Amino acid sequence: MKFVMMSDTHYISRRMIADRTDKELMLQPAVTEAAVLQASKDCDVLFIVGDLTNSGDHYSHEDFSAFLREVKRNGTKIYVIFATHDFHHHKAYARKYGEKTKYKSHPWNSPWFDIEKADWRKLVKDEFSSLSDEEIVPGLVPALSPEEIWEIYREFGPDEAYSVHEPSFSYCLDLDEKTRCLMLNDIFRNEEALKDKSPTYSPSCLRWMKQMYDEAERDKKYIFVCSHHPMLPAVPAHRIGAGKENRDMRSPAVGHMLADMGFNLAFTGHSHFCDVGYLRSDNGNLIWDITTPSVRFYPPAYREIELNGESKTVEYNCKYINAVENTPIEEETLFEHYHKNFYDDYYRMVTGSNTTVKKLMDTLTVKDIYFLVKGKARLTAEEYNRIKNLKIFDLIIESAFNMLIGDGAYTPNTSEYKVLMSLCAKLDSIIDTQPFVNVKDKYLGGYSVSEIIEPMLFNNSAPDRKGTLDLTKIPKPRMDTPVYTSHAGDVLMAVICVLALVLSPLAPIATAIALPVLTIKKKQKSAKHKGPFYRY
């Protein structure tokens, strides 16, 4: 069976754009529409797996559903689920894009906020206190509830469903005589923002999911899953700050449950990453997660899928949206336009107005830091000369691009990989030998710097953009990945102890305490090391 998988359309109604002269804002709805139209020409079945709109306002839902209805009338079957950006996930109102008024807070981010009773004068920042009442009150548009969204999009899946689980707004589809699809909406996760401690999926929804798998087995149909939130983090960096609860969207707990039910394939979105990964449950069951990027951000892409349920194989390919009619951009393609915007935005975010930081970002190159990693990276003269003038900022930002676009260019045999991983090894050594703060657990989600950075450079399990998977097998690693180690932390602590010995009468006592603690830390490091996080 062939179909198109799309995610994170983040549609913005033109009625929500206050400043129609803003070319970048006006480009956004045009890109979403161009993506859907292009995808509808590539295949007869289109899935959109959540974040249909950007703010959940009723203008955007009304206009996007009307647009999808026209595409559907031309012969394309369209099936959707919604997600956190689509309803008042503690956002009762959405503000129009391009509003110039400044506020102390965003009161509309609360479901109990009453626009009619708001005292806007108290909410305006002091420097804007001279504004008139008309300038104070922004253009707020009500956001929809999950129940309202379910009704708006019923014709895009629920009305054709083989089975529906209305409490979770999930449904199951017969796609053809051999294939079935489970469209899951983890609505309960979003209720946590309203202090509801329910899990990602309710017990009744989990029972229904298992029932759908068993009935597909009975009917001799292959069944796969579509969900907005991934079954596993694309990279460990996505897990940092996620909290300890398994129900968190960046936890692999749901993937474990689905794998043990019998599912072995899921299509997801949310992260805006182009990623292909797998998870093996504690019981040894395997599930693959194919994540689709957003069509509205870098890289603007969707996936073409060919699935064979009988042979348990899937072919996938990323296709990019490169042109939008009647919406000129300076770059030759939309891909290049978003790449430039991404780079510029992060450059501004890192440098801000700090001229010192800006100068550092503009001048610091590999040549300037190579002395730190020379012994570990061991670059040839040719490799070093090729990257010695590469800016460190560009090296780091390209790692972020690698996550988004997939199939990172920094494979283990490249100079960039060797430099970055050698630097990570030094940082890990310093972190692991300091005795007073558990940096890993407190700031890095329990992972080493190397475990966080390496998956950003290269996916060793499967091609991200284009490939074929045997859904029943764990693949062999695509390349050998060398292990980088360092004793920089031991050396640093030794230097500190020596200096303390020379400069302080209390140094012998400090050293007597520090050295045993360092030994304990090293033993703990060896005992806790669990290998790569992101592939199980």
Q: What is the 3-state secondary structure (H, E, C) of 117-141?
A: CCCHHHHECHHHCCCCHHHHCCCEE
Q: Which amino acid is at 321?
A: I
What integer pLDDT is reported at residue 73 of this predicted model?
Answer: 95
Q: Could you count the other beta carbons within 10 Å of the beta carbon of residue 480?
A: 8
Q: Evaluate whether 474 touches 460 at the Cβ level (below 8 Å).
A: no
Contacts of 530 (CB under 8 A, 6+ apart): none
Residue with tokens 């400069």: 503
| Residue 530 pLDDT exceeds 60 | no
Contact present, 94 and 141 (Cβ < 8 Å)? yes
pLDDT, tens digit, 9 for 90 and up, residues 69-107: 999 999 999 999 998 889 876 578 888 888 777 776 677
Report whether 299 contacts 340 (CB < 8 A): no
Exposed, middle or buried: residue 67 (CB in 10 Å: 0-12, 13-18, 19+)? middle
Grouping H, G, I as helix, E, B as strand and the rest as coil, residue 173 is strand
Does 535 score more than 80 pLDDT? no
Is 72:78 a contact under the CB 8 Å cutoff?
Answer: yes
Model confidence at 258, pLDDT cuts 50, 70, 90, reads very high
Q: The pTM is what?
A: 0.87
Two structure tokens written together for 458: 């290269």
Asked if residue 526 lies in contact with residue 467, where contact means CB atoms within 8 angstroms, the answer is no
Rounded Cα distance, 387 and 306, in Å: 40
Spans of all domains in the chain? 2-90+145-320, 107-138, 334-462+474-528
Strands 265-268 and 286-291: parallel
Residues 233, 199: Cα–Cα separation, whole Å: 18
Higher pLDDT, 251 or 416: 416
3-class DSSP state for residue 427? helix
Average pLDDT estimate for 367-384: 92
Q: Is pLDDT larger for residue 232 or for residue 294?
A: 294
Of 131 and 430, the one with more pLDDT: 430
**Is 80 exceeded by the pLDDT of residue 298?**
yes
Closest CA to 322 of 308, 333, 307: 333
Question: Quick one: pLDDT at residue 482?
Answer: 83
**Which phi and psi (to 5°) does residue 316 adopt?**
-140, 150
Domain 2-90+145-320 listed as CATH 3.40.47.10 = no
Residue type, 87: F
Kindly list the distances between the CA atom of residue 240 and the CA atoms of 43, 189, 267, 270, 473, in Å, as whole numbers in the listed order: 37, 18, 23, 16, 29
Percent of the chain with pLDDT over 70: 86
Q: What is the pLDDT of residue 261?
A: 96
SS3 286: strand
